Structure 1
Amino acid sequence: MAAMTESTLPAQPLPSAEVLEVTPDDLEDSAPGASEDHMLIAAESYEDINVAIDEQYQRGKVGGENEKTDKTENEISQSARELSIDDTRSTTPSDEGRETPKEEVSMETKERSNSVLSNRDRPQHVEEECYSPEWRQRQKHVFILSEAGKPIYTRHGNEDKLVTTMGVMQALVSFVQDNNDNIRFMIAGSHKFVFLNRPPVMLVCVSHSAESTQQLLLHLTYVYNQVISVLTFSQLSKIFERKRNYDLRRLLTGTEKFLDNLINLMDRDPMFLLSAVRCLPLASSVRDIIGQSIAQAKAKDLVFAILVGRDNQLVTVVRMKEHSLHPADLHLVFNLVDASTSFQSAESWTPICLPKFNSNGYLHAHVSYLDEECSACLLLLSADRDVFFELSEARQKIVTRLNKYGCLQAVRESLGKGSYKVAQIGIPDLRHFMYKSKSTAQYTSSELEAPYTEEGERHRLFGMYQYLHHRVHNSARPLKILFHVGSKETMLGWITSGFELYATFGPLVTKPAAINAINKLLRWIKKEEDRLFILNSYTY
C-alpha cells in the first residue's frame, strides 16, 4: 500500500490570514448558493440514519429500562462477536479506494471467516444462491425480508434460492431482540453486515466495499423509502397485520427495476451521500421564465411541478406555497424517471408516495417529456387521482410557452455541454470538486476529467470521496477540515454551517496551497451562483 498521511485541521478558523483569506466565519452570511427560499428542505448528512437508530433503540427497550445493554454499546451481538472486528479501528483507503485496517486481523479470525460457507459445511441437497462462487464474489448485497423471514427482494440472485439465507438473517435479528436489544451491524473479516429494522420489514446489506457502516445504513434507508413509495407505509402495515407471512413480492412485481436502479445510482451518484440535488447550470433569466410558465399554467390541485434534465439534473421546482420538498423525496422522483423508459413514448399517469412528504398517502404524477430528444421530463404531482386530462392541458400550455421563449432549446444546449470544466475556474492544481449549499440542499460539481475518465478511476475517486465524507461526519469525532495526502491525489474536505466542500488536487499539492485554491474556488462559485443554483423558486 502506498504511503499516506493525513492532517486534521483545527475546528476553529485557521489563524494565518496569509494562507486563508476566507475563514468559515467570514462565509456564514454569504456562503455561495445560500438562500432563504424554502423550495427544498435543508437536510444534514445521515439525519435519516440517526432517526432510524433512535427508533430501533426505542423498539428494543423494555418498560422502565433506561440504559443500553452491553451488546448495543458494542454494536454487535454476542453470537457474532468472534467474527467481528472493532469498527473504531484506524483505517485509511488504499489507492484503489478500498478500506484497509492498520491493525492486521489474526489468521485464526480470517480462517473462521473464510470457512463460514466452506464446502464441508455445504448441504449437498440445497441449491442456495449463497453457494454460487459468482454470487459470493459480488461486492455488495442488499436483502429485504419480512419480520417472519419471508424473502421480498435481493439485489443479486433469486429470492426463492435464498430462503435459508434470509431465514438465518431473521433468526439472528430475533435472537438479539429476544435479549431486549437491536443489532445494528457486525463486521466479519472484510465484510460488513448492516441491519435496518423497519417493521413490518427488515433490510440487510452485506458488503466488502470501502463504504462505512453509516453509508451502508443510508443506502438501506433509501431502499426502504423506495418500497414505501410504491405501497405507502399504512398499506404495508395493514398487509402484514392481516397476514404475517404474506408474500410481498406479489405487490412489488414489476417494480424491482426501481430498486435495482436506485442501488446502482447510489454506487455512483453523490446526491445521496450529500443529501442534496444537482441543478442544471442555466441562466437565471431562462430558469425564471420556466418557473413563470409552469406557475401560470394554473393546473388544478397541483402540489408540485418538477422539471428534470438528463443525468438527474434539476431544472426547476414550482410548488404550493405551504409545501416544500425533501431531497430524499426528490431523489425517489429522479429514480422513477431514470429507471423507466416508458415515459419517453407517451404521457403517463402514475401514483407515487413521497415518504418525507406523506408516508401514508399517494400523490398522482402526470409524467411526460417535453421534446422529441427527451432532454427534459416534466412531472406534475397532484393529490387528486382524477385530473389527468386537466394536467395534460396544463402541460401543453407549458410546452407552448417554453418553446415560444426558447427555454427548451436553452435546456438542450446546457445538457449538451455537460458540466463545466475545472479549467474554466482557473485553478491549475484543482482536478475535481463537489460543493453543497446547506441552506438550499443543492450541490454543484465539476466535470470528471483526466485522470478520472476511465470507469475504474471514477469508481476509485468516488470511494475516496465516501471515505473523506465519512471521516468529517464521523459521529465519534466529527471534523471541520480534513486534508488527506495519497500517492495519486491530495484531497480536502471542509465543513461549515453554511456549506460542505470536497476537492481533489494533484499529489504534490501542499496544505497551504490547497486552502488557497479553495478560497479562489469559493469566490468563483459565488460569482456563478445564479447559474449553478436555484436561489428563488416559484409558488402558487
Structure 2
Amino acid sequence: MEKGRDKKDESVWPKQLKAYVAKSSKHDQEDHYMETWRNHKKHFFILTSAGKPVYTRYGDESRLSDFFGIMIALSSFVEDSHAGDKLRFARAGRLSAVFLPRGALLYVAISRCREAVPVLARQLDYFHRLIVSTVSSRVYDILTRQPSYDVRNVLGGTSNTFRSLMCRLSYQPEAAFQAFSTLPLAPSHRDRIRDLLTGMKKESSSLVAAVILAEHKVVAVAQSREGITPEDLFTIVNFVNSSTSLRNSESSWTPLCLPDYRHDAFLHAFVSFYTPVVSITILTKDQRDVVALQEVGMRIKQEMSEGSPSLLDEVEKMHSTPLTPPTSVPGATHALHFMVLRDNQVVLSSFPQQLDSQKKVKKLLRRYQHIASVGRRFESVAGPVGLPKGGSRRPDMLWRVTSEFATLVHSTSTSEIEVFCTFPPTTSASDATLTAYAIEKWVKEHEDTLLTKKIATFY
C-alpha cells in the first residue's frame, strides 16, 4: 500500500487548518458597509430570537446589529404571515440564504457558492452542535426566560473553535457526509490500542467513550453500549484539535457536551496529547472518576511508548505517510481523485496537480456534496432537488460532466459503500464506471488497514 504514494500531499489537512485559523482574524473588524465584507462568498450568522447577535464569520457582530435586525425581521415576517411557518431559505440570482431555527437561536447562511440548500442547512446544524457542546442546550432555556440575554458572555474564548469548524466544513468531507476519517494502521496495531482502551472499564462504570486521535484522524474508539454518533465524534475531534490550551498542557479535564448523547448535560472530558500529533480523550459521566481515569490515560501513554518501534511510533509514521494517489490503485488509472464512504468513514486519495490549491480542493468537495444531495443522501429542507444540468442518473450511479471535470458517484445496492471519483472531462462513462468498481474492490481488500472495522464497547 505504500507504493506510489505522493509525498507532496503530506499532512495537507492540518496545514490548511492552521493556516486558515491564523489568517481568518484579519476580517474581524469588517462590517456590512465595507466592500470587502460584501465580497465574501459565504457568510454564517447566529442570532437570538430577539435579534441579538451571537456570531458572524466575517466582521464584528456588534457592528452588524442592524443587519442582524433585518434577518430576524424577515424570519418573523414569514412566521407571522403564514400561520407559524418558518422561513427555511430564499434565493435571489446566485445568492442563497438558508435559515435554521433551533429553539431561541436562529442560524443563517448566505452564500454565492452554488451549494445546495440541504448542504448549507447541514453546515448550520454543525454550528448548532458547537454551541450545544460548549454550553449545553440549557442556553435555549435561558433565552426562553430572558430573550435579551447576551449569549456571548458564555461563549468567550471559542473563536478558534468556530474558525476550526469553518475550516473543516470547507476542506474536509467528514461533516458533510456524517462520517469520520480513520488513520490507516496495521490491524494488529489497532487491535492492541483498542485493547488498551477497553481495559479502562475496570476503573469506572460511568465511561461514555475513549478516543485516540492522530490530529483529526481516528486511530481507535471504545464506547459504552449507548454509543456515540459520527456527529458527536466530529464534535470531539474539532474540540480537541482547535484548543491551544489543551495542546499546551500535558493533560486537562474540561466539561464537554455531546449533543446526540445527551444535549442537556455535560460530560467530564480528560484530554492529553501524548505527542504533538497523538492525543487521547476519555469521557465519563461521573466526576469522581477523574483521578483514576487520568492515571489510566497516563498508563496507556506509557504502554504505547514501549518497544521499538512503539505503537506511538507506528501511529506517527502512518500519520506522516502521504495519501494514496489514484494511480496506485489497480484499474483506477483514469481517476484524478477519489473519495470512498464506508461504515461512516472516509477514505480520500491524494489530490493531483490539477487540484493543487485550497480553492480547487474546496470546489471539488463542494461538487461531491452537491451531486450527493441530488442522490438524496442529504435530508432536504427544501423538498426534491433537481438533477444537475449535463448529468445522468440510474439507481446506483450519478454521472456529471462539465468542461472542467467529469464526476461519478457509485453506490452499491445496499449503499454500504459509496465511491466518488473525479476524471478528466473526456473520460467516457464506461471507463469511469470500471474505475469506480476497481476503487471499491481495492477498499474492500484493504479495509482492515484503511478503516476501523470494530468499535469496541466497555460493557
Class of the TM-score when normalised by the shorter of the 2 chains? 0.7 to 0.9
Q: TM-score, normalised by structure 1?
A: 0.73
Task: Supply the distance in 1 between the matched residues of 2:134 and 2:48 (Cα, whole angstroms).
Answer: 16
Partner Cα separation in structure 2 for residue 486 and residue 170 of structure 1? 38
User: For residues 361 and 403 of structure 1, what CA distance do their matches in structure 2 show?
Assistant: 35
- For 1:158, which of 60, 71, 89 is the aligned residue? 60
Report if the CA contact (8 A) 1:297-1:398 is conserved.
no
Match of 2:180 in 1: 277
Q: Distance in 1 between matches of 2:30 and 2:317?
A: 51
In the TM superposition, what whole-angstrom CA distance separates every residue of 1:25-52 from its partner, at most 9, and x where no partner exists?
xxxxxxxxxxxxxxxxxxxxxxxxxxxx
Rounded Cα–Cα distance in structure 1 between residues aligned with 2:122 and 2:360: 24
The 10-residue stretch of structure 1 (382-391 or 164-173) with the greater mean CA deviation from structure 2: 382-391
Distance in structure 1 (CA, Å) of the matches to 2:426 and 2:30 = 50
SS at match of 1:509: coil
Matches within 5 A, 1:383-462: 383-405=285-307, 406-426=310-330, 427-437=332-342, 440-462=343-365
1:90 is matched with: none
Question: Where does residue 231 of structure 1 map in the other structure?
Answer: 135
Q: How does 1:95-110 map to 2 (within 5 A)?
A: none
Offset at 1:328? 0.9
Question: Residues of 2 paired with 1:284 and 1:508: CA distance?
Answer: 39
Gaps of 5+ in 1: 1-126
Q: Equivalent residue of 2:150, what SS?
A: coil
Corresponding residue of 1:141:
43
Q: CA shift at 1:477, angstroms?
A: 5.6
Residue 209 of structure 1 is matched in structure 2 by 113
**Other-structure match for 2:268:** 364
User: Deviation of residue 449 (structure 1)?
Assistant: 2.4
Following TM superposition, by how much is the alpha carbon of 1:535 offset from its aligned partner in structure 2, in angstroms?
1.0
Residue of structure 2 equivalent to 1:30? none
In the other structure, the counterpart of 1:519 is: 437
Q: How does 1:492-531 map to 2 (within 5 A)?
A: 492-496=408-412, 497-531=415-449
Q: Structure 1 residue 187: deviation in Å?
A: 0.7
AA in 1 matched with 2:63: K
- Aligned residue identity for 2:305: N
Match among 278, 288, 294 for residue 376 of structure 1: 278
> In the alignment, residue 271 of structure 1 is paired with which amino acid?
E
1:45 is matched with: none
Distance 1:216 1:273 in 2: 9
In the alignment, residue 393 of structure 1 is paired with which amino acid? Answer: E
CA distance in 2, matches of 1:240, 1:342: 29
| 1:351 is the counterpart of 2:255 | yes
CA distance in 1, matches of 2:363, 2:209: 37
Cα drift, residue 416 of structure 1: 1.0
The reply to whether residue 482 of structure 1 matches residue 386 of structure 2 is no
1:304 to 190, 209, 213: 209
Q: Which amino acid aligns with 1:171?
A: A
| Structure 1 residue 434: Cα displacement | 0.8
CA shift for structure 1 position 258: 1.2
Q: Report the counterpart of residue 131 of structure 1 in structure 2.
A: 33
Show the 5 A alignment for 1:465-476.
Answer: 465-473=368-376, 475-476=384-385
After superposing the two structures, state which structure 1 stretch, 283-292 or 509-518, moved more. 509-518
Task: After TM superposition, give the deviation of residue 250 of structure 1 in Å.
Answer: 0.7
Alignment of 1:278-297 (within 5 A): 278-297=181-200
Partners of 2:236 and 2:447 in 1: CA distance: 25
Report Cα offsets for 1:166-192 as digits up to 9, x if no partner. Answer: 111111111111121211100112211
Does structure 2 retain, via aligned residues, the 8 Å contact 1:297–1:397? no
TM-score, scaled relative to structure 2: 0.85
Alignment of 1:50-69 (within 5 A): none
- Establish whether residue 323 from structure 1 lines up as the match of residue 226 from structure 2: yes
Deviation at 1:498, TM superposition (A): 1.6
d(CA) in 1 for partners of 2:257, 2:116: 29
8 A contact 1:128–1:164 mirrored in 2: no
Partner of 1:535: 453
Give distance in 2, aligned partners of 1:368 and 1:449.
35
Q: Is the 8 A contact 1:195 1:203 kept in 2?
A: yes
Structure 2 unpaired stretches of 5+: 1-28, 388-392
1:498-517 per-residue CA deviation (whole Å, 9 max, x = no partner) reads 22221112222101111111
The residue aligned with 1:254 is 157
Q: Distance in 2 between matches of 1:156 and 1:488?
A: 30
CA–CA distance in 2 between the matches of 1:193 and 1:273?
A: 18
What's the offset of the Cα at 1:423? 2.6
Deviation at 1:490, TM superposition (A): 1.5
| Percent pairwise identity | 29
For residue 19 of structure 2, what is the aligned residue in structure 1? Answer: none
Following TM superposition, by how much is the alpha carbon of 1:265 offset from its aligned partner in structure 2, in angstroms?
Answer: 1.2
The answer to whether the 8 A contact 1:349-1:366 is kept is yes
Q: Which residue identity lines up with residue 428 of structure 1 in the other structure?
A: T
- Is the CA contact 1:128–1:162 (under 8 Å) kept in the aligned structure 2? no
Aligned partners of 2:30 and 2:59 also within 8 Å:
no
Given that 2:410 and 2:436 are in contact with CA atoms closer than 8 Å, whether structure 1 keeps it comes out as no
Q: Greater relative contact order: 1 or 2 (C-alpha under 8 angstroms, separation 6 or more)?
A: 1
Deviation string 1:375-404 (CA, Å, 9 cap, x unpaired) is 211000111224332222001211122122
Q: Partner amino acid for 1:425?
A: V
Q: Confirm or deny: 8 A CA contact 1:434 1:502 kept in the other structure.
A: yes
Determine if contact 1:307/1:376 at 8 Å carries over to the other structure: yes
Larger Rg belongs to: 1
The CA deviation string for residues 270-307 of structure 1, in whole angstroms up to 9 with x for no partner, is: 11121111110001110000001122233423220001
- The match for 1:76 is none
In structure 1, distance between residues paired with 2:269 and 2:191? 23
Bigger drift between 158-167 and 488-497 goes to 488-497
| Equivalent in the alignment of 2:166 | 263
Partner SS for 2:50: coil
Number of matched residues? Answer: 407
Partner deviation per Cα, 1:42-96 (whole Å, 9 max, x = no partner): xxxxxxxxxxxxxxxxxxxxxxxxxxxxxxxxxxxxxxxxxxxxxxxxxxxxxxx
Tell me the distance in 2 between the aligned counterparts of 1:520 and 1:160. Answer: 53
Partners of 1:289 and 1:158 lie apart in 2 by: 48
The code of the aligned residue for 2:217 comes to: Q
User: Alignment partner of 2:333: what SS?
Assistant: coil
Q: How many Å apart are 1:323 and its aligned residue? A: 2.0
- SS for the counterpart of 2:123 is helix
Contact 2:197/2:221 (CA < 8 Å) preserved in 1? no
- In structure 2, the residue corresponding to 1:273 is in which secondary structure? coil
Q: How does 1:19-38 map to 2 (within 5 A)?
A: none
Contact 1:152 1:249 in 2 (8 A): yes
